[in-house]
Amino acid sequence: MTSIEVPGHDIVGIRAANSGPFTLTGTNSWLVGREPTWLVDPGPRLAEHLAAIEQEIARRGGLGGVALTHDHPDHAEALASVRQRYPAAAAAAARGDVDVLLTGGSRFGPLDAIFTPGHARDHLAFIAGTAALTGDAVLGEGSVFVAPYPGALTAYLDGLDRLRRRDLDVLCPGHGPLVRDPTTKLERYAAHRQEREQRLVVALAAGKRGVEELLDEVWDDAPAELRFAARLTLAAHLDKLEEEGRLPKDVERPELPGLSWV
Ligand SMILES: [Zn+2]
């Protein structure tokens, strides 16, 4: 069990032992403040992880509420157990069976919700003081995948901008280490998307039309286990070009399974 101290903030991260290509070293659950403390992303339902969270809640004088950045299982699976254990603590998310439905601009305990869609269409980040808990909008390392739905990529870039306009000194991501230079990271994330788009535009101009050849050309750095994520993000990039009237007519579009979780 790894705990992550956030210097200068009364926030601690607890990393779950669910490492993988999408979760990096595991999901980070965050506890903000004390008497009571507020939990962001309870994480996967792993006994050891839940025990570590409970211990920290006790140390911090009880739980005020629990908020989800989004409802993917690696962030939300343990919500039911936490609610059972702390029935008085309010639960909040942008969707699902919770006490409080949040949108960008909502306040929940010490948390300011910021609309950061793209990875999920109702993804939220939370700001507490000058720290942002970014879920899967921004990770500690690597890049996130953007889920393909109409407007996803443009909405994602707008979300990064909303974060960039805030006065932040640290990002506490859903996966990976703390980000101590938020402005640089957020600018790099936006630049990374623009760079992919530029490479995609070049590949299309060179006559590439098939999904596999576009992936080979534009996502040549993606390891095999992230090829699926690259397909999703390619689909989102093609959608964006189409929305902007910049997509040639005969481009093959990725076939994607039903993405009910987007
Ligand atoms: Zn995640």
Q: What is the whole-number distance in angstroms between the Cα of residue 22 and the centre of ligand 1?
A: 7
Rounded Cα distance, 96 and 102, in Å: 11
220 part of a folded domain: yes
Mean pLDDT of 99-114: 98
Containing domain of residue 223, as a range? 193-243
256 part of a folded domain: no
176/101 same-domain check: yes
Q: What is the whole-number distance in angstroms between the Cα of residue 7 and the centre of ligand 1?
A: 23
Q: What is the pTM of this model?
A: 0.94
Tell me what percent of the residues of the chain surpass a pLDDT of 90: 90
Rounded Cα distance, 148 and 231, in Å: 9
Cα-to-chain-centroid distance, residue 87: 26
Q: What is the whole-number distance in angstroms between the Cα of residue 78 and the centre of ligand 1?
A: 13
Average pLDDT of the residues of the chain: 95
Question: Does 258 score more than 70 pLDDT?
Answer: no
Q: What is the whole-number distance in angstroms between the Cα of residue 109 and the centre of ligand 1?
A: 23
Over residues 136-170, the pLDDT tens digits come to 999 999 888 899 998 999 999 999 999 999 999 99
85/209 same-domain check: no
Count of domains for the chain: 2
In three-state secondary structure terms, 129 is coil
260 part of a folded domain: no
